[in-house]
């Protein structure tokens, strides 16, 4: 697991994907509250 983590450029892509997923979830939750 750590080997693939190092190959992905220090996990930058992983953190970026995590931020994108959290942002999408935040939009979905916000939309459900608005509607």
Q: Show the 3-state SS of the chain.
A: CHHHHHHCCCCHHHHHHHHHHHHHHHHHHHHHHHC
Can you give the pTM of this predicted structure?
A: 0.53
Report pLDDT for 16: 86
Q: Read off the pLDDT of residues 12-26 as tens digits, 9 standing for 90 and up.
A: 667 888 999 999 999
Residue 10 has pLDDT above 80, yes or no: no
* Count of CA atoms in the C-beta half-sphere (13 A) of 22: 6
């Amino acid at each position: 697991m750590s080997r693939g983590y190092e190959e992905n450029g220090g996990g930058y892509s992983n953190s970026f994907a995590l931020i994108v997923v959290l942002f999408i979830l935040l939009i979905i939750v916000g939309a459900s509250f608005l509607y």
